[in-house]
């Protein structure tokens, strides 16, 4: 005779919901947003169906809709004009730059929205790299100083947190000290502590034209600063260093292929963990849905729930708006 039957707790949805270990809500989501110059402008991103580059006015409109759906945080990326790019990234800390004006506009229109601007030089670089280049190498410390200027300018514009995604060594400490010295003690840092050199970033780079440029004098990829995807112990080393340097939230990127890293980090730290459900992961699901191979709504919710099950506290995802609509049903 069988005394223990696990199926007793799966008999119906009411029982299943009582014993459910993880529940996905709109509070879990951060929506990445692409911003472009212009007015009343919206351009679709072909490799990311349903995702657009928008001018500031339409970005504000989108943020209002997101907030009404329960999505209370956005992560900002800029499509920078070619004439503003160079090897210093100086446009990144222009007080009247596209990023700074976008932050101000969102905070003015939706004060409760948590605004997390991306901190990296690749959208501003003529080379498409996250750092300043000299003699064919990405300079670590000079890049950190640029990232600190960028972060302070974001804080001055009204950012709630800054999100350095560059993977330079020691940049969290440099940014934290710059924010403190500038009086922004309440501005937090979402550190991309374990960001891997991944092939899943392709659609994102096409959205911002931020892929490394083909040039014999510079690295053709980002493997000298982003992590080797073969490694897992190294991730903990990166995480612990960023915590010591003053990170408030730890990011792991990409998401689905790195759930083991999310779980490993969750067991090791008490700080909030963010995971980035990146553009390639989004594109794969949308391609399968368009071909009729997957159910859109069910796949999205299952997809996002796995991040919480692995231990993430928040999910940066292009599905945020759509997922909120599904959950609100």
Is 149 a catalytic site residue? Answer: no
Kindly report the backbone phi and psi dihedral angles of residue 54, in degrees, each rounded to the nearest multiple of 5, phi listed first.
-130, 150
Helices 56-69 and 98-109 cross at an angle (nearest 10°) of 40
As a whole number of angstroms, the distance between CA 25 and CA 28 comes to 6
List 195, 222, 264, 321, catalytic entry: 195
List 107, 222, 253, 321, catalytic entry: 253
Please, which residues bridge with residue 192 across strands?
251
User: Is residue 279 a contact partner of residue 199, using CB atoms and an 8 Å limit?
Assistant: no
- Residue 22: its H or E element: none
238 is in an annotated binding site: yes
Can you say whether residue 4 is alpha, beta or left, with left for phi > 0 and alpha for psi between -120 and 50 degrees? beta
As a whole number of angstroms, the distance between CA 214 and CA 253 comes to 24
User: Is residue 304 a contact partner of residue 259, using CB atoms and an 8 Å limit?
Assistant: no
How many Cβ atoms sit within 10 Å of the Cβ of residue 284?
15
Please, which residues bridge with residue 132 across strands?
139
Is 253 a catalytic site residue? Answer: yes
Q: Which residues contact 294 (CB under 8 A, 6 or more apart)?
A: 285, 288
As a whole number of angstroms, the distance between CA 266 and CA 86 comes to 39
CA 284 to chain centre: 18
Kindly report the backbone phi and psi dihedral angles of residue 46, in degrees, each rounded to the nearest multiple of 5, phi listed first.
-55, -35
Q: Which residues contact 63 (CB under 8 A, 6 or more apart)?
A: 33, 74, 106, 109, 110, 113
What amino acid positions are annotated as catalytic residues? 195, 253
Sequence ranges of the binding site for Mg(2+):
238
Sequence ranges of the binding site:
238
């Amino acid at each position: 005779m069988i005394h223990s039957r696990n199926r007793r707790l799966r008999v119906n949805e009411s029982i299943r919901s009582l014993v459910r270990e993880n529940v996905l809500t709109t509070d879990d989501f951060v929506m990445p947003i692409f911003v472009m110059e212009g007015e009343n402008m919206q351009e679709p991103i072909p490799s990311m169906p349903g995702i657009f580059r928008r001018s500031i006015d339409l970005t504000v409109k989108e943020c209002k809709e997101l907030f009404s759906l329960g999505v209370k945080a956005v992560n900002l990326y800029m499509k920078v004009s070619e004439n503003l790019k160079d090897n210093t990234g100086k446009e990144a800390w222009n007080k009247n730059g596209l990023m700074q004006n976008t932050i101000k506009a969102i905070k003015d229109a939706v004060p409760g929205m948590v605004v997390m601007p991306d901190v990296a030089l690749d959208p501003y670089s003529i080379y498409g790299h996250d750092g300043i280049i000299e003699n064919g190498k990405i300079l670590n410390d000079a890049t950190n100083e640029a990232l600190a200027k960028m972060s302070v300018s974001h804080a001055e514009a009204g950012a709630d947190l800054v999100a350095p995604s560059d993977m330079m060594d020691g940049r969290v400490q440099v940014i934290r000290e710059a924010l403190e010295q500038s009086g922004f003690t309440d501005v937090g840092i979402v550190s991309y502590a374990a960001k891997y050199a991944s092939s899943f970033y392709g659609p994102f780079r096409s959205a911002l034209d931020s892929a490394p440029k083909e040039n014999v004098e510079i690295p053709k990829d980002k493997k000298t600063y982003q992590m080797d995807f073969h490694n897992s112990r190294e991730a903990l080393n990166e995480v612990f260093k960023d915590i010591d340097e003053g990170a408030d939230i730890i990011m792991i990127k990409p998401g689905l292929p790195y759930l083991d890293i999310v779980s490993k980090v969750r067991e090791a730290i008490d700080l909030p963990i963010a995971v980035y459900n990146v553009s390639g992961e989004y594109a794969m699901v949308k391609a399968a849905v368009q071909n009729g191979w997957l159910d859109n709504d069910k796949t999205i919710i299952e997809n996002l729930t796995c991040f919480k099950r692995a231990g993430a506290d928040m999910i940066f995802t292009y599905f945020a708006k759509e997922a909120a609509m599904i959950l609100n049903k």
